[in-house]
Structure 1
Amino acid sequence: MRVLLVGGGVIGLLSAHHLAEAGHEVEVLDQGALGGESSWAGGGIVSPLYPWRYSPAVTALAHWSQDFYPQLGAQLLAETGVDPEVHVTGLYWLDLDDEAAALEWARREGRPLAAVAIEEVYRDLPMLGGGFSRALYMAGVANVRNPRLTRALREALLRMPNVTLYEHCAVTGFIREDGEVCGVRTAQGELRADRTVVAAGAWSGELLKTLGIELPVEPVKGQMILYKCAEDFLPSMVLAKGRYAIPRKDGHILIGSTLEHAGFDKTPTEEALASLKASAVELLPALAKAEVVKHWAGLRPGSPDGIPFIGPVPGHDGLWLNCGHYRNGLVLAPASCRLLADLLLGREPIIDPAPYAPAGRLG
């Protein structure tokens, strides 16, 4: 089978990896550089920011992915020599309004989240800002170095003889014959396939409009900033008042993020920079003296309730979706891409696919 993946972010690349491993001919194309959009721009926390606020559909994908990430990181390092740096730090939530709901969720789902005395938090995180009074902690939560993850996936695919990658190759429309989608049209010509999978993130809705399909996926802008500190400056991830601090292994600290409905505009703004700096200093006062190394924006693929679309598109044989992961594309990628491959190849799915099916969810 020849499968075409439209979109070269982590969802498209990892889907391609699964399908190529199964022996199929796979082509991946992207309108820009592979992994250059939200997969590059995100923070890489391997957990929804507030997992108890999501539906069981998101939880099922998240749990499977969280358990699989260390294995995925090790596999990609062995295959390519590029380490995605799956960094297990644990995560603190400070002064939550819905602490009781979080603890009930953890009890119900069997996740290691528990209340921690604030004195203990300040002992473990002496760099934390003052004024916090309550904390929850979940051990085992990791973050992944997302630019390195997409680079590792790209390298792995380049080494597979049944994979072709196309960068800077924008789709202008789909090829339809006898009611079936047989590939795509691009500025460089036609690409034909037995199955075409749209994994184009925030651009997925725009692509499907060319077929008269209303896919409720829209861009939601997010801005972040990056500091460089000592490697042991912050041992755990911290989240308070909707903002988070993520430590990388080399001492880089990410602070994020904004939520903005600004269409496809990715311009970083001074307002967001000031707001993110204020959050950074409130969480970690020492950052007041640190220099912002980088400030950027990306576009999340916003979708209703953050539930992705995974599966075939009714009435358009040959067309499949793996998109609409909103704020959790990196979190949900391993399970989403495995589920897509299971469904596409007729295997037993890892989880119930019904909540993600495009059928009944498209206009």
Structure 2
Amino acid sequence: MLRHSPSPDLVIIGAGVVGAACAYYAARAGLRVAVVDRGPVAGGTTGAGEGNLLVSDKEAGPELDLALLSARLWRELALELPQEIEYEAKGGLVVAAEDATVKALRGFADGQRAAGVDAVEVGPGELRELEPHLAPDLAGGFHYPQDAQVQPAQAAARLLAAALSASPGVEVHLGEEVTEVLFGPAGELRGVRTERRDLLAPAVLNAAGTWGGAVAALAGVGLPVLPRRGFVLVTEPLPRVVRHKVYAADYIADVASGSAALQSSAVVEGTPAGPVLIGATRERVGFDRSLSLEALRRLAAQAAALFPVLADVRVLRTYHGFRPYLPDHLPAIGPDPRVPGLFHACGHEGAGIGLAPGTGVLIASALTGAAPVLDPAPFAPARFAEAPG
């Protein structure tokens, strides 16, 4: 028998870091919030992420503006939330093997600086001062002090716990799949149904990550979210041989690419616990969870090319997940004009952890009618209003 929970103001579908951040900022705005997820907290893309909080890989534009807002909010959250989120302001280092690539990075950084990014060019000798174990034949690069990292699953859990503390009207329902979006007799949105209960609310937020398109379809609208599979290698614990988040310049092009083919560009970083994380691959293969030896081989070779010291280090495990990809590389954040009361916060691809706080603030503003802290128009789901359902 279905149970009717006390009516919240908002139901959030998805307990990843984006849904958790939206719950946190909505609760702080005084809203009663119910979060529902078919699995555990951070059971999808968030739990398979590296915890990147990057501004370095984003060109000047709306996504960078959202990343800069989120970077500031993450710094604030690191002071407010328990230390378990493992916030580390390690900074990023983008390196280039050729002078022509350094020149291209210089133009990229000029646009970023105009938007408020701190980007410092470093020559070959200075690279080795920042990262002593880097390959010796690199042409130069750029240091980004604003890049940081969190432990993503812990960050999601702590944000949800903080939401519960911020408001007695917050509830979390895990292990419950939303099977239906509910509508009233006049076609008005009324909430959602799971196998255990009806959660009635005038507003529903789709924060389902890679499954955002399927949730949108439950509400009768199309949202072209596609999964992009990515792999990560985890090495044995090491002394801190990698101090920053280090990646080759071609990673920036991979992030911006719409190709479905396998793309691989090493992103290498140490962790407080000792293991080195090595990403990142991208490919559109649906929800195929099979292991790609080619992807793993590419990552290992590229990481060893950047850091020769890693060539003989043991890889203890690998993991992979699916990034929620939208065709224009911008997330969908805000109200859906096709269904009054339906909101979206999904499609962040590989940047969801970094962009989560800014997304939460934009959603809270949209729900309460408060003035947004930045222009939400580039992220408006209305741009997909003509997308086929």
Give the TM-score range, shorter chain.
over 0.9
Q: Distance in 2 between matches of 1:319 and 1:339?
A: 15
Residue matched to 2:76:
71
Contact 1:87 1:248 survives alignment (8 Å): no
Note the C-alpha offset of 1:156. 2.6
Q: How does 1:1-363 map to 2 (within 5 A)?
A: 2-48=9-55, 50-52=57-59, 56-77=61-82, 82-95=83-96, 96=101, 98-159=104-165, 160-177=167-184, 178-240=186-248, 241-242=250-251, 243-362=266-385, 363=387
Contact 2:89 2:146 survives alignment (8 Å): yes
Note the C-alpha offset of 1:250. 2.4
Aligned length: 357
Report Cα offsets for 1:291-312 as digits up to 9, x if no partner. Answer: 2232111111101232111111
Q: Distance in 2 between matches of 1:49 and 1:297?
A: 23
Contact 2:324 2:346 survives alignment (8 Å): yes
Of stretches 267-276 and 32-41 in structure 1, the one that deviates more from structure 2 is: 267-276
Note the C-alpha offset of 1:140. 3.1
Unaligned runs of 5+ in 1: none
TM-score (norm: length of structure 2):
0.87
Report Cα offsets for 1:219-267 as digits up to 9, x if no partner. Answer: 1111111123434322111111422112222222211011011112233
Q: Distance in 2 between matches of 1:292 and 1:312?
A: 44
Q: 1:194 to 1:324 in 2, by over 3 A?
A: same
Note the C-alpha offset of 1:48. 4.5
Letter in 2 for 1:58: E
Letter in 1 for 2:144: M
Q: Distance in 2 between matches of 1:90 and 1:112?
A: 10
**Fraction of identical pairs, as percent:** 31
Q: 1:210 to 1:124 in 2, by over 3 A?
A: closer
Letter in 2 for 1:142: A
Unaligned runs of 5+ in 2: 1-7, 252-265
Q: Distance in 2 between matches of 1:236 and 1:315?
A: 44
Note the C-alpha offset of 1:158. 4.7
Note the C-alpha offset of 1:27. 0.7
Give secondary structure in 2 for the equivalent of 1:360.
helix
Letter in 2 for 1:75: E
Letter in 2 for 1:282: A
Of stretches 227-236 and 24-33 in structure 1, the one that deviates more from structure 2 is: 227-236
Report Cα offsets for 1:190-233 as digits up to 9, x if no partner. Answer: 22112111000010111212333111211111111112343432
Contact 1:266 1:299 survives alignment (8 Å): no
Of stretches 279-288 and 299-308 in structure 1, the one that deviates more from structure 2 is: 279-288
Q: Which runs of 4+ in 1 moved over 6 A?
A: none
TM-score (norm: length of structure 1):
0.92
Contact 2:191 2:202 survives alignment (8 Å): yes
Note the C-alpha offset of 1:106. 3.2
